[in-house]
Amino acid sequence: MTIDITQFWNLLTESKLVGVAETQTLFSEFSEFSEEKNPDSLAEFLINKKAITRYQSKILLAGYHGPFQYGNYVVTEQIESGFFRNQFKARHKKTSYPVFLQFIPGTETSDLETWEKIENEVARLVPIRHPNLAETFESVTTAEHRFVVTQLAKGVNLHEKLPRKSRLPWKKACEVMAQAVKGLEQLHTNKIVHNAVSPRTIWISKNGAVQLRPSLTQDLEFDTPDKSEKGSESKFDYLAPEAWDTANADWRDEQGIAQDLYSVGCTLYRVISGKPPFSEQDLKKKKNACLNDRPPTLEKYELPDELSTLISQLLAKKPGDRPTSAQQVGNMLALLSGKAKEIETLAAAPSKSRLLFRKSLSPDFPGYAPIAEKFIPEIETGEEIEPLVDSSERSIERSEKIQAAAEAALRRKKNRWKVPAAIAAGLLAISLLSALFIYNASNTKVVDISPNESDPANSDPVNSDPIKPETSLPETTDSPPGLRPTLVQKLIDDDDRSLWETPTNGSPLAISYVPPAPRILFSLRLSELLSSPEGNLVVQSLGPSMAEVLKHFQNQSIA
């Protein structure tokens, strides 16, 4: 589908990736910046301005406005291969924190039963926080989608870092696996079985820090051997002997701790030697070798006796002959690596951005102190944040609200008389607005401009389709197609005495103090009035006088 530049602007607005005010600014900058006026050049301009991502631009250029928003998250990128194939990177709308969204397909009864198991597993994983275990944040159900929100992966997994026949020196292998097993220990402490320990679920960052990722969704690339590619690995290379006959059983068997430790042994063997313990391509031969044979020795790698013994114990055929706990294995590997102290310092503490995101999901989550009034969250450069800046209204509203609250608190301390003056200005503005509405309205017709909860335009913008106004706004030479300049309301801190509408819980209008002259009384919620296309049409219909009143009212309220 080929679209023109006007259609691209309209799709950008309908996608809700960029707010109305920000779109105005981007349109003006693009008009001055670019000589070529076509959708491709506009998309590249918006990508360079970090207003949209390249993935989002592909969708828009194809003639679609998304959807990009799922629950409280905005999709920024689709993963095309590997562990997260066909899953998505996204950002939390309120905090801009980057996450993975793992969507669960299917609508049949069996799929719903699987989803129920996943939800229960997520509920057990959410409270667990450890540097060597990727965090699970929440499971989300919308009208049309079900997905799990997890921590963004750092670096690459061992499967990508070590292609077949690639290996690590045994000390480095012990260092990496010691950290992964520490993450596994946290799962076992909470009576959770990983059931998928392999190089694909172990991620290593540039500084050497390692994270084990819980396996919540099916890894299709890995669960089915690829016979077309000779030497390709699959989950059967890391499957314990007792698990072969129950490979399709309940994937959350709580008796499988010994199976996890066998998978640790297979992974350690693979990282040191460059291939799994049993590398036969035929599944029947692989199963027979796993059940009856010993893996080839690792003598040529000159391993210490303690490490050779540990690998043999981990790969024991009988579960009872394997080590008794992940903690025992992790401590031994850390000791053999010679970097036990360094391992403890590799995994950094959570950044402010992750703490803020966690708190937005659950304010009562343990370990989070209240946010100070003047605290403005900063996203640390060391966190797994991509250089994408969220420039839509949600980001503008959040930063302005926090900053305005701090400024308002400081102003009240300096001058307490400005609050009564603002109240008087508010009453004057209400009177002027009432008079203007009376003048423009009919003598007997009552106009109701209060929000209507049943109106689709006032429904949740995340879970509803974009609403197109019945009449398009006039286009101007200095505005993008379909848009007119709009006022951006300055958010005012609640002092429990203000009569104008802000995001507060202040006292309602005292009707008894309003003069009896007007026959029609309007209670205007300016923030809601100006946030909808219909509200902007009402404001424009009242002409320049109304604009002056609003400007005066805004200046008085923020003074």
Higher pLDDT, 135 or 111: 135
Average pLDDT rounded to a whole number, residues 202-222: 84
Average pLDDT rounded to a whole number, residues 187-200: 92
Residues 6+ apart with CB under 8 A from 408: 492, 493, 495
Q: What is the CA radius of gyration of the chain?
A: 30
266 alpha-carbon distance from chain centroid: 33
pLDDT of residue 533: 79
Whether pLDDT at 175 is above 80: yes
- Measure CA of the first residue to CA of the last residue in the chain; give whole Å: 51
Degrees to nearest 5, angle at CA 337 with 333 and 340: 80
Secondary structure (3-state) at 139: strand
Average pLDDT rounded to a whole number, residues 211-218: 86
Of the ranges 58-72, 274-288, 336-350, 515-529, which one carries the lowest mean pLDDT score? 515-529
Whether pLDDT at 14 is above 60: yes
Tokens of 143: 């009208």
Tokens of 530: 């100006």
Higher pLDDT, 49 or 474: 49
pLDDT tens digits, 429-453: 676 766 665 555 544 333 333 334 4
Question: Which of the four pLDDT bands, split at 50, 70 and 90, describes residue 24?
Answer: confident
Mean pLDDT of the chain: 74
Of the ranges 99-113, 252-266, 269-283, 414-428, which one carries the lowest mean pLDDT score? 414-428
Helical (H) or strand (E) element with 207: none
pLDDT of residue 314: 96
Chain length of the chain = 559
State which fold the 5-149 domain adopts: Phosphorylase Kinase; domain 1 (3.30.200)
Higher pLDDT, 330 or 250: 330
- Percentage of the chain lying above the pLDDT 90 cut: 33
Question: Which of the four pLDDT bands, split at 50, 70 and 90, describes residue 394?
Answer: very low
Tokens of 336: 């053999």
Q: Per-residue DSSP letters for 483-544?
A: ----PPPPP----S---S-SSS--PPP-GGGS-S--SS-----HHHHHTSHHHHHHHHHTHH
Average pLDDT rounded to a whole number, residues 44-66: 92
pLDDT of residue 475: 39
The Cβ of residue 92 has, within 10 Å, a number of other Cβ atoms equal to 22
Tokens of 371: 């946010």
pLDDT tens digits, 508-531: 555 555 555 555 556 666 667 777
* CA 480/CA 376 separation, integer angstroms: 32
Tokens of 127: 């409270």
Degrees to nearest 5, angle at CA 70 with 66 and 76: 60
CA dihedral 549, 553, 555, 559 (to 10 degrees): 160
Best CA proximity match to 101, nearest among 169, 153, 158, 149: 149
Alpha-carbon torsion 80, 229, 272, 324, what sign? positive
pLDDT of residue 327: 93
Whether pLDDT at 55 is above 60: yes
Average pLDDT rounded to a whole number, residues 8-33: 87
The Cβ of residue 556 has, within 10 Å, a number of other Cβ atoms equal to 18
Average pLDDT rounded to a whole number, residues 15-25: 87
Burial class (CB in 10 A: 0-12, 13-18, 19+), 146: buried
pLDDT of residue 487: 43
* Domain 156-346 is found in CATH 1.10.510.10: yes
Average pLDDT rounded to a whole number, residues 179-184: 94
412 alpha-carbon distance from chain centroid: 37
Whether pLDDT at 302 is above 60: yes
Whether pLDDT at 403 is above 60: no
The structural domains of the chain, with segments of one domain joined by +, span: 5-149, 156-346, 393-558
CB 264 within 8 A of CB 314: yes
pLDDT of residue 281: 82
pLDDT tens digits, 345-386: 776 567 788 888 988 887 654 443 333 332 223 333 334 433
Whether pLDDT at 484 is above 60: no
pLDDT of residue 243: 86
Residue the block writes with tokens 């049949």: 108
CB 286 within 8 A of CB 278: yes
